[in-house]
Chain A
């Protein structure tokens, strides 16, 4: 059984208006002591968990944040070296680092490349500076372009760009501009996220101050993304993800296939033996912890049925859909879920063929409603 590894770096230059991930805003070079302490703690956890979980074989590694590239190069390479010695990393494992434009230079990227990182995920978000400002991103359109060029120069041949729709004041035209700009850089992978208002974020708390695009407009943007990206050679393989053939994100596929994963660092989540657990979001306690049992809490322990529901929920995110044979093998209630799902075929939300059942593009747009009906 292959396992994924996630490492969380909870530091940012500044906090983005929409982000609900755990991170501390510390400017370009602040919190140096905390960063070193955190790095040391990550290395400790990596060693310990490698041992506890029996040096599992790792198929994909994802260092996310926060902004991982805000850490000094030495700390990043230390962490990576530690991971490599603690776990059994498969030779063809995908190894992604999230890199925000304007937070890295070629020296840092080269070092990462040398350490074994083979994929970058760059948070472009938008090609319009006023939209970037609204999201309180620290970079500009030009920064994206420059950073992308640096990444290529350093030899990264597998790069993903994140872009976003549903930003306040965004129009279909401005979103088109973002799409074309992304395509013009020729990344291997593009994630297209609808902005979600998460409780606790600045955007959520001040939502009345902003003009968010209407539901119909957002649906139109989402449709535009599919048309423009697919006509440019990208293939949609998941609700929010497009890639060139063979360049799907292995790490994310692992989540959607119900595989196991371990998460290191504050807020990082793990799933193993039907137990989902996470490290609490308290960096001081994390840095002080010796065996990490005091900073780990269980989200839930899944029953067979919970796991089956999750599997349906996650697999239906994929364009390939849900394999009927597999569903029958994991739950005695397969028929119940399938008959509910089949109720949506006639209206064009779901289709079934080749032993698979899947959402149509129309179904993807309203997948929450459909899933809540199918699962519960």
Chain B
């Protein structure tokens, strides 16, 4: 190890959503004089939105700090941010691989939570030195000893004497910095070996192209080097390398083993820089890439359509722009007879899907209609071949199917014991298989279930929250495909199939779901001049039926001299309202009705 490497510490912070990760990061930046408190305040003021999105107040997902340790030496501390949600588990694991250690923030008033637990295990599995930090000790209900005990019992790492701080007031922050230097190992790695740099993040900059955030494991990279992406073999010439400062990039001569920084190389799209990929030198390549790379695969698919068909190109532009900064988002054009032209989009999970939908609506000011989210099913056909289905419209006819498989997850739920009954009932309803239950302490129980992914992508999280008064937390990971009895449920309005309403469902759930949706359609389709029969079908078989009765009364009783102008305008408005409706066959449906049909609340299941 070189002297230079000896003075570097790479770490990340693991925390439950509101346990103060960003506040602690802010205090560390201040304490190391990386950012002055005045800058911090200004930054705080104008980055609220960003903060909510990223969970940290600094703009970069990694930042370099300098700290003068009590041993008299200056150390370089690289803080690497990790996304906090289960949808982004893979990104978390890659970020953790760029570090030698992690701070595990535990709320002194609440203890360990499911998400913290999952990420803590990821860190331990990645071989990181995990330092517990008990936070919020300024609160009256703080119980430092209990929090430390819990860390030892539940997570199984020593916590005696670990830093106990208040990120809010800044109390004991120095303890954290000292612990980072004393307990987290300095990065190893051979500066003279062939280059191996781990990509753990990247973003698109309109002027620089793709900015790749890397941790150099071995070797070094300099401006002018020809680099190669080991997963694709693509070669680029480095235009710039350097370090990450809170308010931007700071160029340097080289990035060497153990260091964290950025590089640019006239890379046009994010898809050429996959998180987890290894960068090496084209002329002197490493013999094998760093372990653990996988191409991120969307888990959830849904159709996105412009509410106004004429806005299709605008929607495409929005997706193109969003994908520049989000390689995990995939999309391809899709046509629906009901909704017209739109896109089939793939997401990492439901949260990711919601974020994308909201950004389309907010940042691009587009009203969209989304179809029911679907997971990817695996179907073995009778002829021996097998297909993966991400869209109900591609589902093969029942008689061609040999065996259907659906993705399953291992779910971990942590809840106060009072709600265990209701949550077990919920998991049961969602076709879950109970694995085990652990009492973490008097106030928290951890439940393990195997659940079909398609049962949790809708509203499982909401239902879980509502049955636990918001206390339960969820974490899950995919464990593979398992045989299942699936059917495709179709809906017919006025005898015509509405493709955008079809979805794949477990046989057991088909009848109740068919009935509920038929009922919901009935409630949400406005009466028209004609009666509208609604049918739910599996194959050719009708399993539920409802009727929207014909409109009986829509008349202005009075229309005298003073009313004429206003009533004429009302009629015009009525017609405009109709233009906003979607024609499903011969039936007109409001976009709101569409959304209502796609949204299930707990009680309606």
* Distance from A368 Cβ to chain B, minimum over Cβ atoms (Å): 4
Q: Could you tell me if A269 and B557 are in contact, using CB atoms closer than 8 angstroms?
A: no
Bound Cα distance A194, B553 (Å): 10
User: How far apart are B549's CB and chain A's nearest CB, in angstroms?
Assistant: 7
B529 touches A347 (CB 8 A): yes
Question: What is the minimal beta-carbon distance from A195 to any residue of chain B, in angstroms?
Answer: 8
Known contacts A219-B552, A276-B565, A366-B551: does B559 contact A372 (CB below 8 Å)?
Answer: no
Q: How far is the CB of A62 from chain B (nearest CB, A)?
A: 9
Is B575 in the interface zone, CB < 8 Å from A? yes
A240 vs B568: C-alpha distance when bound (angstroms)? 18
Distance of B557 from chain A, by nearest CB (Å): 4
A35 at the interface (CB under 8 A from B): no
Q: Report whether B560 and A369 are in contact in the complex, using a CB–CB cutoff of 8 Å.
A: no
In the assembled complex, A118 has its CB within 8 A of some CB on chain B: no
**Neighbouring A residues of B567 by C-beta, 8 Å:** 313
Q: Does A50 count as interface, using CB distance less than 8 angstroms?
A: no
Verify if A314 is at the interface (C-beta below 8 Å from B).
Answer: yes
Q: Write the chain B residue with the least CB distance to A254.
A: B561
- Whether A369 pairs with B529 at a CB distance below 8 angstroms is yes
Contact B574 A347 (CB under 8 A): no
> Given the known A-B contacts A216-B552, A267-B562, A268-B562, are A193 and B571 also in contact in the complex, defined by CB atoms under 8 Å?
no
Question: For the complex, is B439 an interface residue (Cβ under 8 Å from A)?
Answer: no
Closest to B550 in A: A366
From known contacts A317-B559, A372-B571, infer whether A299 and B565 are also in contact, taking CB-CB under 8 Å.
Answer: yes
Complex: chain B residue closest to A278, CB-CB: B562
B603 on the interface (CB 8 Å rule)? no
User: Looking across the interface, which residue of chain A has its beta carbon closest to that of B530?
Assistant: A347
| B562 near A365: Cβ-Cβ < 8 Å | no
Judged by a CB distance under 8 angstroms, whether A215 is at the interface is yes
Please name all residues of chain B whose beta carbon is closer than 8 Å to the beta carbon of A373 when the two chains form the complex. Answer: 575
Interface string of A356-376 (1 = CB under 8 A from B): 000000001111111111011
Task: Tell me, yes or no, whether A239 is within 8 Å of chain B by CB.
Answer: yes
Contact flag A255-B558 (CB < 8 Å), given A314-B564, A368-B571, A371-B571: no
Contact A376–B554 (Cβ < 8 Å)? no
Q: Does A309 contact B (CB under 8 A)?
A: yes
How far, in Å, is B163 (CB) from chain A's closest CB?
56
| Chain A residues with CB under 8 A of B564 | 255, 271, 276, 310, 313-314
Q: Which residues of B contact A375 (CB under 8 A)?
A: 568, 571-572, 575
Q: Interface 1/0s, chain A 190-229, versus B by CB < 8 A?
A: 0011111000000000000000000110110010000000
Q: By the criterion CB–CB under 8 Å, are A240 and B565 in contact?
A: no
Whether, in the assembled complex, A263 has its beta carbon less than 8 Å from a beta carbon of chain B, the answer is: yes
Scan residues 510-565 of chain B and give those whose CB is less than 8 A from a CB of chain A: 527, 529-530, 549, 551-562, 564-565
Q: Which residues of B contact A256 (CB under 8 A)?
A: 559
- Chain A residues, Cβ within 8 Å of B578: 372
Annotate B34-66 by CB proximity to A: 1 below 8 A, 0 otherwise: 000000000000000000000000000000000
Shortest Cβ distance from residue B511 to the other chain A in the assembled complex, whole angstroms: 29
Closest to B527 in A: A215
**B553, B558, B562, B572: which contacts A240 (Cβ < 8 A)?**
B558
Interface string of A246-285 (1 = CB under 8 A from B): 0000001001100001010001111100001010000000
A 277-302 to B, binary, CB cutoff 8 A, 1 in contact else 0: 01000000000000000000001100
Q: Is the CB of B554 within 8 A of A367?
A: yes
A141 shortest CB reach to chain B, Å: 22
Complex interface: chain A residues within 8 A of B549 (CB):
216
A6 proximal to B (CB < 8 A): yes
Interface residue? A349 (CB, 8 A): yes
- How does the 8 Å CB contact mask read for A172-204 relative to B, with 1 for contact and 0 for none? 000000000000000000001111100000000
Contact partner, A372, options B527, B557, B558, B572, Cβ 8 Å? B572
Which chain A positions have C-beta within 8 A of B530? 347
CA distance A373 to B558 in the complex (A): 20
Closest-by-CB residue of B relative to A222 is: B553
Query: How distant is the Cα of A305 from the Cα of B574 in the complex, in angstroms?
Result: 19
Query: Nearest chain B CB to A155's CB is how many angstroms away?
Result: 27
Report Cα–Cα, A141/B571, bound state, in Å: 36
Chain A residues lying within 8 Å of B575, measured Cβ to Cβ, are: 372-373, 375-376
State the CA gap A196–B563 with chains docked (Å): 13
Q: How far is B298's CA from A6's CA once the two chains are assembled, in angstroms?
A: 70
A215–B553 CB distance below 8 A: yes
CA distance A306 to B565 in the complex (A): 10
Give chain A nearest CB distance to B570 CB in angstroms: 8
Residue of A nearest to B578 (CB): A372
Q: Which residues of B contact A195 (CB under 8 A)?
A: 557
Q: Which residues of A contact B574 (CB under 8 A)?
A: 368-369, 372
Q: Is the CB of B557 within 8 A of A193?
A: yes
Q: Could you give, for residues 339-367 of chain A, a 1 whenever the CB lies within 8 Å of some chain B CB and a 0 otherwise?
A: 00000100101000000000000001111
- A137 CB to closest chain B CB (Å) equals 17
* Complex CA distance for A252 and B559, rounded to whole angstroms: 9
Chain B 440-468 per-residue mask, 1 if CB under 8 angstroms from chain A, else 0: 00000000000000000000000000000
Q: Smallest CB–CB gap between A57 and chain B, Å?
A: 18
Closest CB in chain B relative to A331 CB, distance in Å: 15
Alpha-carbon distance between A218 and B572 when the two chains are bound, in angstroms:
24
Of A4, A278, A376, most B-chain CB atoms within 10 Å: A376
Say how far B279's CB is from chain A's closest CB, in angstroms: 61
Q: How many angstroms from the CA of A375 to the CA of B527 in the assembled complex?
A: 20
- Contact indicator A240/B557 (Cβ below 8 Å): yes
Known: A216-B549, A347-B529, A376-B572. A367 touches B555 (CB 8 A): yes
**Chain A: CB-nearest residue to B556:** A368
The residue among A276, A309, A369 with the most chain B CB atoms within 10 A of its own CB is A369
Least distance between B547 CB and chain A CB atoms (Å): 13
Contacts of B565 in A (CB 8 A): 276, 299-300
CA distance A168 to B390 in the complex (A): 51
Complex interface residues of chain B between 555 and 602 (CB less than 8 A to chain A): 555-562, 564-565, 567-568, 570-572, 574-576, 578
Given A215-B527, A268-B562, A310:B568 Cβ within 8 A: yes
B553 interface neighbour in A218, A300, A314, Cβ under 8 Å: A218
Cβ 8 A contact of A369, one of B551, B558, B559, B576:
B551
**A267-B562, A269-B561 known; A196+B556 contact, CB < 8 A:** yes
A196 touches B557 (CB 8 A): yes
- Known contacts A6-B561, A271-B561, A349-B529: A365-B556 contact under CB 8 Å: no
CA of A371 to CA of B571, assembled, Å: 7
Distance in angstroms between the alpha carbons of A192 and B558 in the assembled complex: 9
Residues of A within 8 A of B553 (CB): 194, 215, 218-219, 222, 365-366
Please state if B558 and A366 are interface contacts (CB–CB under 8 Å).
no
Q: From residue A191, how far is it (CB to closest CB) to chain B in Å?
A: 8
Report yes or no: A376 in contact with B571, Cβ–Cβ below 8 A. yes
* Chain B residues closer than 8 Å to A313, beta-carbon distance: 559, 564, 567-568, 571
Which of B552, B556, B568 lies in contact with A218, CB distance below 8 A? Answer: B552
- Expressed in whole angstroms, the minimum distance between the Cβ of B181 and any Cβ of chain A is 65
Chain B neighbourhood of A252, CB < 8 A = 560
A161 nearest CB across to chain B (Å): 15
Residues of B within 8 A of A267 (CB): 562
Cα separation A147 to B565 with both chains bound (whole Å): 35
Question: Chain B: which residue is nearest A261 at the CB level?
Answer: B561
Indicate if the CB atoms of A255 and B555 lie closer than 8 Å: no
A6-B561, A269-B562 as given contacts; A368 in contact with B554, CB under 8 Å: yes
If A263-B561, A268-B562 touch, whether A239 touches B555 (CB-CB below 8 Å) is: yes
A375 to B576, CA, bound (A): 12
Q: Given A347-B530, A372-B572, A372-B575, verify A255-B561 contact (CB < 8 Å).
A: yes
Kindly list 5 other residue pairs between chains A and B, CB separation below 8 angstroms, not including A193-B557, A313-B568: A193-B558, A313-B559, A314-B564, A347-B530, A372-B572
17 CB-based A-B contacts, threshold 8 Å:
A6-B561, A194-B555, A215-B527, A215-B553, A239-B555, A252-B560, A255-B564, A269-B561, A271-B564, A309-B568, A313-B567, A313-B568, A313-B571, A314-B559, A317-B559, A366-B553, A368-B571
When A and B form their complex, which 7 residue pairs have the shortest distance between CB atoms, in order from nearest?
A: A219-B552, A269-B562, A376-B575, A372-B574, A372-B575, A193-B557, A194-B557
